[in-house]
Amino acid sequence: MREVGVDLVISGGDYAEKNGPMVPPRFFREVVFPNLRRQVEEAHRLGVKFIKHSDGNLNPLLPDLAEIVDGLHSLDPTSGMDIGATKSKYGDKLILIGNVAVDNLCRKTTTEVVQETKDCLKQAAPGGGYILSSSNSWYVDAKLDNCLAMVETARKYGRYPIQLP
């Protein structure tokens, strides 16, 4: 992949669900993270950043992940992933991607989605290291107007230096 100009790899596979990790953090430390470290080391050897995707509440795993991977996607606020708190604690170590709740793209008004998008930018973009995204893939119930509002809001306010009203 590096030979064709790939800058980063996003590794799929969820580690958590809404209530937290799917297995005890000890299992991640003993079994999963040593293997993840090898994957990240190989990506780095090739000059590629390594982003870990996972839905769910990753808070119990964040200290470990911040020492292993370059970034995290999807940072779902409906699972307790507070983008401001994550940025404050790990923003100097991790590229953060996500946090516009995909559920809100389905259920909320366009005005509410615009505000949520601005809030994400305001909390996570200053200082760099943030990529605005929904908290997961847009699914069939997502309102096109809301998805477009998120994108247009990002285009309008997501340029550096970040200046939000």
> What span, in angstroms and rounded, lies between the C-alpha atoms of 145 and 55?
24
Q: What 3-state DSSP class applies to 82? A: coil
Q: What is the pLDDT, as a whole number, of residue 1?
A: 74
| Cα dihedral 138, 80, 159, 113 sign | positive
pTM score of the predicted model: 0.93
Output the pLDDT for position 165.
76
Q: Which long-range contacts (CB under 8 A, 24 or more apart) does 59-67 make?
A: 59/20, 60/20, 60/21, 60/25, 61/15, 61/16, 61/21, 61/25, 61/28, 62/86, 62/89, 62/90, 64/25, 64/28, 64/29, 64/33, 65/94, 66/90, 66/93, 66/94, 67/93
Domains and CATH numbers, the chain: 2-157 (3.20.20.210)
| pLDDT reported for residue 148 | 97
Beta bridge partners of 10: 51
Q: What is the pLDDT along the chain (165 residues), one digit of tens a residue?
A: 778 889 999 999 999 999 999 999 999 999 999 999 999 999 999 999 999 999 999 999 999 999 999 999 999 999 999 999 999 999 999 999 999 999 999 999 999 999 999 999 999 999 999 999 999 888 899 999 999 999 999 999 999 888 887
Closest by alpha carbon to 134, among 115, 124, 155, 120? 120
